[in-house]
Chains A and B, each alone.
Chain A
């Protein structure tokens, strides 16, 4: 019995737009082991949010395979899919719009339990809601409050409780702390880590904030314009980034230190369009190391050292370049 919980193979999501085909997610492949966290990072337009939704089939992938616990979920019908949804949950970015304003906290957390028909007895179900509230650190006196009465941090805890309600194996966290203040971010991140340890959860952590993802993930995958351009364990990615985009991304983070400030790598130009992209390296126009081959051929994801994958023609570049 393998340790892999999720295997994504050549996942694609294309949208038809007036100008042509928009390649939101263009052939993403990775796998995650049970109990681990994969961070997916990238800037706006890289496709990370779409990829997250596609893995849960909240948007229908155009092609590819998503093998969850041995089952290719793209082959399931609606009912079977609803059944598997219990094991795969999503935590949303915006604590304001991800909660139904007309439902109390208890109702929101209770809903998935009711829908999955997990606990028919009303009182036992309610006790489960209270248990979940305690797990995420929500005071019991808040049970009948509405979202608009609470701050962002508490609302996000409700979102987490709702995701946990069905005892999932796997949770995709889509920018779960981006909308929160720094001091609250830390509280929520610690909470999520604690829950992971206690419940043996597997996470995908989607974010644009690189400092947060380092703290939180075992492996990190970097996306650019719908493609996965580098994937490595966190320490290795931060210590030895290979892809020029990864290097630029890491160097762009403003460091809260006044001594030994790192050298900035500045990217030129702007991101190219995801509509009808050419089969070449999509980063070539901005890359400081671009060579002729980069504008002719699309680089393929290759394992350059154990567990470290890069899609770049120049993978001969070492960390000192």
Chain B
């Protein structure tokens, strides 16, 4: 899919036509199949999809962290402030990671080193990238802790002494220590209780504003998207089926999969007798359907859907969709 650069200048991230396969002896897993992503400076993009849609692989590619023996980058560019990450040398990448781009993962339990104090872990990035002394780095680390709502005195404690929510805050502190331009958050609150999740999301929003950071928020939860994101890309089988602003996706959705996602959600406001699930299962990435990857599950599928992959149709400056339904019209077909 081809996403127009709405802001020609000042795009923190541009991914163009990224294709990544995992190759093993028996089979090829087509994880990412032509993904275009643009994040303007200071904006947050929500990457929404279910398990196996290719979100995490895309995120890893931004830092060139796709596991190498199996993961092969077949084509595409990942431009971070104009420079292609995929062609950078190791030393250039090391400079980038933690400094210009930071990533927070889903499970705070395994993201933290159990034998280092939290203060040291935050200070680590500072020492490497800012080339300051250990004492100075620790001082800044304590400031970061305060920023995420943890008393600075706890800098000398170890991860096991913190609860899940607090550990995730420490992870955020580590990520933001060097004021990155881009924060990649891969399901950062999925493992947390809902009240803690609320706290963490508010924290992320505040810090985003304060640092004028761009963010890629990977999630399957449309509620989180509504809270934190400016734009949304809906991912399915390694392709982006629909992309737009919050209004475009929440109020004017066009793609049947997007509609299915919303329909399958239980709504606490409206109690229906039956949820409307999407029939069928996620496609097997080693054996993707022909034509449009969603067609076997689509209520609106036509004959052409199983033959030809649909092209990108721009419905407005901000809203595009990949679906044969919209070949000749911009109006909703749902």
Direct contact of A and B (CB under 8 A): yes
| A residues neighboring B (CB under 8 Å) | 43-44, 151, 153, 181-187, 189-190, 193, 208-212, 214-216, 234-235, 238, 248-258, 261, 264, 266-267, 270-271
User: Across the interface, do A182 and B194 meet the contact criterion of CB distance under 8 Å?
Assistant: no
B266's contact among A184, A211, A235, A261, by CB below 8 Å, is which? A211
B226 at the A interface (CB under 8 A):
yes
Residues on the A chain within 8 Å of B264, using CB: 182-183, 185-186
Question: Which of A238, A258, A261, A267 touches B268 (beta carbons < 8 Å)?
Answer: A238
A182 CA / B257 CA spacing, docked (Å): 12
Q: Is the CB of B226 within 8 A of A256?
A: yes
A232: min CB distance to chain B, Å: 14
Given contacts A181-B50, A189-B275, 15 further A-B contacts (CB under 8 A): A43-B193, A181-B51, A181-B282, A182-B220, A183-B50, A183-B261, A183-B277, A190-B277, A208-B193, A210-B194, A210-B268, A235-B271, A252-B194, A254-B226, A256-B221
Contact status A153-B281, CB under 8 Å: yes
A270 touches B265 (CB 8 A): no
Q: What separation, in Å, do the CA atoms of A184 and B255 have in the docked complex?
A: 19
Chain A residues positioned under 8 Å from B221 (CB to CB): 254, 256
B222 closest partner in A (C-beta): A256
The reply on B163 being an interface residue by CB < 8 A is yes
Closest Cβ of chain B to A18, distance in Å, is 15
Asked whether A214 and B268 contact (CB < 8 A) given A182-B220, A254-B197, A261-B226, the answer is yes
Q: Within the assembled complex, what's the spacing in Å between the Cα atoms of A292 and B30?
A: 61
Interface of A: prevailing SS = helix
Complex-state Cα separation, A264 to B198, whole angstroms: 8
Which of B50, B225, B269, B271 sits near A182, CB closer than 8 Å? B50
Q: Which chain A residues lie closer than 8 Å to B201 at the CB level?
A: 254
The listed residue (A43, A255, A267) touching B226 by CB distance below 8 A is A255
In the complex, the answer to whether B275 meets A215 with C-beta atoms within 8 Å is yes
Partner of A187, one of B197, B199, B277: B277
Chain A residues, Cβ within 8 Å of B198: 251-252, 254, 264, 266
CB distance from A189 to the nearest CB of B (A): 6
B211-243: contact bitstring with A at CB < 8 Å (1 yes, 0 no)?
A: 000000000111111110000000000000000
A residues less than 8 Å from B195 (CB atoms): 43, 248-249, 252, 267
Stretch of B81-89, B127-135, B245-253 that contacts chain A: B245-253
